[in-house]
Amino acid sequence: MRYLPLTPDDRAAMLAKIGAPNIDALFRDVPKSAVVARSVFDLPDTQGELTVERALSKMAAKSRAAGSLPFFCGAGAYKHHVPSAVDHLIQRSEFLTSYTPYQPEIAQGTLQYLFEFQTQVALLTGMEVANASLYDGSTATAEGVLMAQRITKRPKAILSGGLHPHYAETVETVAGLSGTVTRSPVTPGKAEDIIALIDDQTACVVVQSPDVFGLIRNLKPIADAAHAKGALLIAVVTEIVSLGLIEPPGAQGADIVAAEGQSLGVGLNFGGPYVGLFATREKYLRNMPGRLCGETTDAAGKRGYVLTLSTREQHIRREKATSNICTNSGLCCLAFTIHLSLLGEEGFSRLARANHARASALADRLADVKGVSLVTESFFNEFTLKLSKPAASVVDALAEKGIVAGVPASRLMPHDKEARDLLIVAATETNTDEDCDAFVHALAELL
């Protein structure tokens, strides 16, 4: 087996040194009845690269890659162009095959990019501090709710109806154990009156902007109302590129920002791995979940970086930790931070504008199709259409024609009658004029 360097002679010599007659002797504590023969496993034997590559390539070819056809799905995962340099750099051995930087003297590469990543996330979100990532946007949101419950010592989380339903369900899974979770009604294309739900038991209000339908939400009044009642505002961002054009949540009064960073550097990956961004105010620092990288100096006085404030974490605090998280999204942070470094201020702004312009133009054209109306007045690169037919059947019919039209809202909220005819459409810099033409014409033919 090409990955195993020991030869039969090596193994014999090693057993002799150990003083064991055979390998079985090393497994002597395993109950005999639990040791199984090779033949018990109905699985193949060792295979060479060529064989494995052939089999997996054949399997992968049964999927239609997003880049191979006009593609307009968003709803929490967005197709963007990732510069070639990103994937080359993240595959450097020293990044790819290193562990969590617990030995800082020989992990400054990882630590410095985490410090830069934390800075970038704080700048993007308009917050004071950010951590070194969580798993993804949905789990970051759930961690945010738990953190708000700890800070306020109150049980109740109020979730906006515009919060991605998968995020809401993820929050309910964990925060429902430590408190109560209330969902505000779904109001596609409109801001709900979430302020009326805030009371003196409310730990936090969770509002996504742009929301799951693409609508840009004004967070300031919600932040003010929450603060007046002693509650926190958690702002959720699933499309981080939007912050190149939209006022960041930090400037609108958010106390915690939980975001998905997948749009930069990471790619679609069928849903994971992604990268959870998590930022807050400095005063809440010690209640944060996850790893933090901090600046310090070494014994020779040189600037360096270490993991810090680890007394919040599970390996020190065990059952009293702020979270059970250990492994995070290290390499996805790296991809994110390299992509953002390549873009810089100018590139990031241009990317955001290109996305908005592309989506605006497409929304105008689609809204002119008979049987289609635009539900979201304001949006970034994603909007919702109301169709004259159930959206799921339209998506299936267009997929037959080689166009992936978007995400039917009914896939995310099957019990909401109003959602049946709603189609969530995203357009990014990757969509060409030809893609948009094909979509508009095919939809006009169908409706």
Partner 1 sequence: MTMNNQGRPTSSGSVNENEMPTISGDRGLQHEVSLIFELGRPGMTGVDLPQVQMTDKRLGGLRRKGPVGLPGLSEPEVIRHYVRLSQLNYSIDAGLYPLGSCTMKHNPRLNEKMARLPGFADVHPLAPQQTVQGAFEAVGELMKWLTTLTGMPAVAMSPKAGAHGELCGLLTIRAAIEARGEKRNRILVPSSAHGTNPATAAVAGFVVDEVPATEDGHVDADALEAKLGPDVAAIMLTNPNTCGLFEPRIKEMADAVHKAGAYFYCDGANFNAIAGRVRPGDLGVDAMHINLHKTFSTPHGGGGPGAGPVVLSAALAPFAPLPLLVHDGNEFRMIEHADEATDGAKPFGRMCAFHGQMGMFSRALTYMMSHGADGIRQASEDAVLSANYILASLKDVMSAPFGEGPCMHEALFDDSFLEGTGVTTLDFAKAMIDEGYHPMTMYFPLVVHGAMLIEPTESESKESLDRFIHVLRTMALEAKAGQTARFDGAPRLAPRRRLDETAAARKPILRWKPKELPQAAE
Contact 207, 192 (CB under 8 A): no
| Sign of the C-alpha dihedral computed for residues 279, 284, 289 and 293 taken in this order | positive
Of 200 and 327, which CB lies nearer to partner 1 in the complex structure? 327
**Any contact of residue 120 with partner 1 (CB under 8 A)?**
yes
The residue to which tokens 């930790």 are assigned: 321
Q: Which residue in 194, 375, 395, 425 binds partner 1 (CB under 8 A)?
A: 395
**Least distance to partner 1 from the beta carbon of 183, Å?**
14
Which pairing describes strands 276-280 and 129-130: parallel, antiparallel, or unpaired? Answer: antiparallel
**Any contact of residue 122 with partner 1 (CB under 8 A)?**
yes
**Any contact of residue 439 with partner 1 (CB under 8 A)?**
no
235 contact partners, CB below 8 Å, separation of at least 6: 125, 207, 208, 209, 219, 249, 252, 254, 256, 257, 258
Contact 189, 367 (CB under 8 A): no
Of 199 and 247, which CB lies nearer to partner 1 in the complex structure? 247
318 contact partners, CB below 8 Å, separation of at least 6: none
Nearest to 312 by CA among 287, 330, 283: 287
**Any contact of residue 32 with partner 1 (CB under 8 A)?**
no
**Any contact of residue 377 with partner 1 (CB under 8 A)?**
yes
Give the total residue count for the chain.
447
Contact 359, 383 (CB under 8 A): yes
Q: Which two tokens stand for residue 132?
A: 């070194």
**Least distance to partner 1 from the beta carbon of 415, Å?**
8
**Any contact of residue 170 with partner 1 (CB under 8 A)?**
yes
d(CA 394, CA 369): 14
d(CA 318, CA 305): 24
**Any contact of residue 417 with partner 1 (CB under 8 A)?**
no
Site for partner 1 in 86-105 (CB under 8 A): 87, 89-101, 103-105
Total residues binding partner 1 (CB under 8 A): 208
**Any contact of residue 208 with partner 1 (CB under 8 A)?**
no
Site for partner 1 in 180-199 (CB under 8 A): none
Q: Which residue in 145, 258, 351, 391 binds partner 1 (CB under 8 A)?
A: 351
Stretch that binds partner 1, among 151-159, 182-190, 325-333, 431-439 (CB under 8 A): 325-333
Q: Which residue in 205, 232, 407, 442 binds partner 1 (CB under 8 A)?
A: 407
**Any contact of residue 109 with partner 1 (CB under 8 A)?**
yes
**Least distance to partner 1 from the beta carbon of 369, Å?**
19
Site for partner 1 in 229-288 (CB under 8 A): 243-248, 251-252, 260, 267-273, 275, 281-283, 285
Q: Which residue in 46, 182, 388, 432 binds partner 1 (CB under 8 A)?
A: 46
Q: Which residue in 21, 153, 177, 434 binds partner 1 (CB under 8 A)?
A: 177
**Any contact of residue 1 with partner 1 (CB under 8 A)?**
yes
Of 350 and 441, which CB lies nearer to partner 1 in the complex structure? 350
**Any contact of residue 166 with partner 1 (CB under 8 A)?**
yes
Determine the Cα angle at 326 with ends 325 and 328, to 5°: 90
**Any contact of residue 399 with partner 1 (CB under 8 A)?**
yes
**Any contact of residue 172 with partner 1 (CB under 8 A)?**
yes
**Least distance to partner 1 from the beta carbon of 49, Å?**
5
SS3 257: strand
**Any contact of residue 119 with partner 1 (CB under 8 A)?**
yes
Q: Which residue in 314, 367, 438, 444 binds partner 1 (CB under 8 A)?
A: 314
**Least distance to partner 1 from the beta carbon of 219, Å?**
9
Q: How far is CA 250 from CA 239, 275, 343, 345, in A?
A: 16, 20, 22, 18
Contact 79, 268 (CB under 8 A): yes
**Least distance to partner 1 from the beta carbon of 300, Å?**
5
**Least distance to partner 1 from the beta carbon of 435, Å?**
15
Inter-axis angle of helices 165-178 and 137-152, to 10 degrees?
Answer: 30
Nearest to 258 by CA among 171, 198, 190: 171
Cα atoms in the 13 Å half-sphere on the side-chain side of 92: 10
Stretch that binds partner 1, among 151-159, 223-231, 320-328, 438-446 (CB under 8 A): 320-328
Ramachandran angles phi, psi of 181, nearest 5° = -125, 125
**Least distance to partner 1 from the beta carbon of 245, Å?**
6
CA 240 distance to own-chain centroid: 10
